[in-house]
Structure 1
């Protein structure tokens, strides 16, 4: 029997330092997130970061927390419910970090008689710190607890026409209500070394401005290329002219060389360039979360206005929109036919 496991990032149980700390520990101690030897990672995370970061992160979570709980969890549950209503095989929801674990999701499917699982990480673009860590953990759990199960891993869907169409329609709906000067595509940042580590050719990715536009097998796992490709296809579909849009990367950690240009730096410079009305979309996420609601809709908004901007629109993610849920349901139906 076939079934589906949808997997997103996760969330702390509450916006308090007490609950944020174990969540951050699990997240940052993941070797695919901070990819340094264990002892150094433990020193960085437990010796330095977790001494101050939980309080600051808890304050950020508190700004976006709803009466129902974490926005990412609430939205993911709604999306899961809609998708399940559109298909006739079991669909479970899990998070890579936190209490809605992949183990629980697999157990739920197992208890319903599922032995063939469509594993769908809810990340459009492939990255070590998102897709890889989900697939690796799920496989470890399968081998240990559910050896009779078979996985079909859904690859990054950054350029699938139906995803691009759903994303473009979602963006257009908001742009139609806002007379913008510029549309910014802000993607989650990753360290540059992650790009090189996922280069299966071991030679293509130079992050030099040209390699992402030169055909290569490396693009199958290149986060940077996939981000630029998503942007390229969406602006083509929406007919947005050159010069009226740009792309940046957000959420970097200090001490590493991360993908550039940086979202906050670029946004702060825009008003002096004549961009007074800015729309920002975050296509690395399918559901609104801390990075979209607090970092962009609140912080970036405040900074843009502070530097002379006049109007700012944070375009919501696709969340549990009907078109997006139908798109995922159609992928599941294709899986059923295989």
Structure 2
């Protein structure tokens, strides 16, 4: 029987929280021309000479904080569960593989497995709700580079983004409801950040991006490929699902790197401002991630939580990601079947 192939791809994780493995992961990740999109010589000097040597030991300590003795990396743990549950739901007509853009399991090995299974087609699903050149774009480029060398290329299709997926929105809203959002002083939708230059590159019109303070507030034909505009759209859909008034929540961006301006406002700055206004309890969504990881479990819960308390706040509550929620598996099925 001919099977249809499915390739789920998440960002990646070190093989272990050791400094050596974290160094390998950061090196592969940051040397990607779509992640740090600058002159190759400058990128090599910056990554190999500055960032990786100094950041690896620090990041290794953080990974040790979230690493489980039984399940290892939370990102890989939940990604494997998503693969397993999706395979079960799709049945024997499909062959589902999981890959990480960086480190293990590799895209190359996953594609090799699909090739050996003699699938008649391959559906590529980058596990990033919002399109960005540095995430989804990098996955699609890598897949195309590898498959282009095959003698026989099956039908291949790609999921570009799913920022407005109804089931995904419903899961985030359901996950939040048990915390009673109405009891919090303010709600943050904290997305992973990107350099502003990458947003500008996605503006094919050349006349929209960062031309006004609210250029991302509404999704339009001019900004339909814009990561920030898609993020704002997701936040608004979740807020609508929960009946949140506009003044109750803020869209912000975390995890910036380097001195160049990134998408704003920065989550850390927003938290500082809210604390100065006397707010005590914050509820935080991270809708850029389909599985909990270092950026959610540690950066939000621990780093931002501690920062908020030092400024007089009391509690930062993370809304868990999609993880292995049954409706998220339904959503993945829908993305596969298109």
Pairs within 5 Å for 1:106-185: 106-145=111-150, 147-175=152-180, 179-185=183-189
CA distance in structure 2 between the aligned counterparts of 1:11 and 1:311, rounded to whole angstroms: 28
Q: What are the ranges of 5 or more consecutive residues in structure 2 without an aligned counterpart?
A: none
After TM superposition, the runs of 4+ consecutive aligned structure 1 residues lying more than 4 A away are none
The answer to whether structure 1 residue 314 and structure 2 residue 300 are counterparts is: no
**1:300 counterpart residue number:** 304
The answer to whether structure 1 residue 249 and structure 2 residue 253 are counterparts is: yes
Structure 1 position 44, deviation (Å): 0.5
Pairs within 5 Å for 1:202-217: 202-206=206-210, 208-213=212-217, 216-217=220-221
Structure 1 position 225, deviation (Å): 0.3
2:9–2:99 contact (8 Å) kept in structure 1: yes
**1:50 counterpart residue number:** 52
- Larger deviation, residues 218-227 vs 140-149: 140-149
Q: What's the TM-score once normalised by structure 2's chain length?
A: 0.94
Structure 1 position 215, deviation (Å): 5.8
2:122–2:155 contact (8 Å) kept in structure 1: yes
CA distance in structure 1 between the aligned counterparts of 2:310 and 2:113, rounded to whole angstroms: 49
Structure 1 position 3, deviation (Å): 1.4
| Compared CA separation, residues 174 and 83, structure 1 to 2 (3 A) | farther
Structure 1 position 146, deviation (Å): 5.9
After superposition, the C-alpha distances for 1:233-289 in whole angstroms (9 at most, x for unaligned) are 111111011221111100001211101111112112222212111111100101011
Q: What is the number of residues matched between the two proteins? A: 333
2:218–2:233 contact (8 Å) kept in structure 1: no
**1:35 counterpart residue number:** 37
After superposition, the C-alpha distances for 1:103-136 in whole angstroms (9 at most, x for unaligned) are 1111111121213111000001111110100000
CA distance in structure 2 between the aligned counterparts of 1:174 and 1:90, rounded to whole angstroms: 37
| Compared CA separation, residues 311 and 155, structure 1 to 2 (3 A) | same
The answer to whether structure 1 residue 79 and structure 2 residue 85 are counterparts is: no
**2:286 counterpart residue number:** 282
**1:271 counterpart residue number:** 275
SS, match of residue 284 in structure 2: strand
SS, match of residue 246 in structure 1: strand
1:183–1:244 contact (8 Å) kept in structure 2: yes
1:201–1:217 contact (8 Å) kept in structure 2: no
CA distance in structure 2 between the aligned counterparts of 1:146 and 1:15, rounded to whole angstroms: 39
CA distance in structure 1 between the aligned counterparts of 2:231 and 2:245, rounded to whole angstroms: 18
CA distance in structure 2 between the aligned counterparts of 1:232 and 1:268, rounded to whole angstroms: 23
Q: What are the ranges of 5 or more consecutive residues in structure 1 without an aligned counterpart?
A: none
CA distance in structure 1 between the aligned counterparts of 2:317 and 2:211, rounded to whole angstroms: 30
The answer to whether structure 1 residue 224 and structure 2 residue 231 are counterparts is: no
Structure 1 position 207, deviation (Å): 5.3
What is the root-mean-square deviation in Å for CA atoms of aligned residues? 1.6
2:159–2:335 contact (8 Å) kept in structure 1: no
